[in-house]
Amino acid sequence: MSAFGMARMFARELLLRREQPRGPTPGQQLGAAGILAAMEDGGEVDGRTAAGYLYHSARISQVLAGRRRCVDIGCGNGTQLLQVAALNPDVQFCGVDASPLMIERGTVQAARLGLTNIDWAVDDFDGLLAHGRGQYDAAICTMTLHDLADTAALATALRAMAACAGHDGAVYIEDFARLKSPASIDFFVDLNAPAVPDRFSALYRCSLGAAFTFSELKEAVERHLPQASLHHTFLVPFLVVVKSADGPLPVATRRRLAQMRAGLQAAARRDLDDLRRFFALGGLGNDPFA
């Protein structure tokens, strides 16, 4: 990661006062088939975002400690969910997505990996808000909010999370917050992009442009998920995490996470440690890799 490029990005984002307009969502621009095709270029669990998957799987495992049934809303093709389910075999998961194509892909991948603790369902936030209460004691949502139509849909999503988790349930959300400058989006897209931009680079750029602003996310969380706290990367809220309190991470899980970190390629391990550092400097403690 270029220190000079990072410093320029920080300066831009801290000095700019205006927000750039929100762009089209990945669903609007690419559709489910286009998103799946893009994921094949770099979005798999061992692809260019391997560090992000492992970081959030570890954090999710902390909030799931002691839970029994968890719903992943907007699970997509299940890439994050499959890793989380493998780390938490005592938890029964339900992967939910509005796209039958995504659910079909997740089901196939779970069978290939031999994971038996995941059910799958075609549904959305509105449906889960209506009938999800009491079925679960935890709800997670990873890289999904930026694909929602507007702030009204964002409010519905958070209300559905609260309903599914219940008053004392665990919640974990991760997503982007919209950057103020297109040049900052270019910076992050270019960090790990190949020499010739591919479909995943286009998906990444679209996702960053479609993200809600930090203030929009903060207002919605405070109103609809009072049991959770909002965290973000240091200085610039490029990434945000919304989570309930951690439970004690089992020793075996902590050891497995350390092994998985050690098994990352050197560049991905550096990316993981950068994530740990930027969230820690932003105030998110209890590092599961410490």
Report pLDDT for 1: 58
Confidence of residue 254 (pLDDT cuts 50, 70, 90): very high
**pTM strictly above 0.85:** yes
Confidence of residue 197 (pLDDT cuts 50, 70, 90): confident
Report pLDDT for 41: 93
Q: Are 57 and 85 in contact (CB under 8 A)?
A: no
Mean pLDDT of 150-176: 96
Mean model confidence pLDDT for the chain: 96
Per-residue model confidence as pLDDT tens digits over 56-89: 999 999 999 999 999 999 999 999 999 999 999 9
Report pLDDT for 230: 98
- Per-position DSSP letters for 115-162, written without gaps between them: --SEEEEE--HHHHHHH-TTS-SEEEEES-GGGSSSHHHHHHHHHHHH
Helix (H) or strand (E) holding 231: strand 229-232
Domains of the chain: 3-281 (3.40.50.150)
Report pLDDT for 4: 82
Report pLDDT for 5: 86
Mean pLDDT of 256-278: 97
Per-residue model confidence as pLDDT tens digits over 32-57: 999 999 999 999 999 999 999 999 99
Residue 283 vs residues 85, 118, 230, 241: alpha-carbon distances, Å: 27, 33, 10, 11
Report pLDDT for 52: 98
Per-residue model confidence as pLDDT tens digits over 81-110: 999 999 999 999 999 999 999 999 999 999
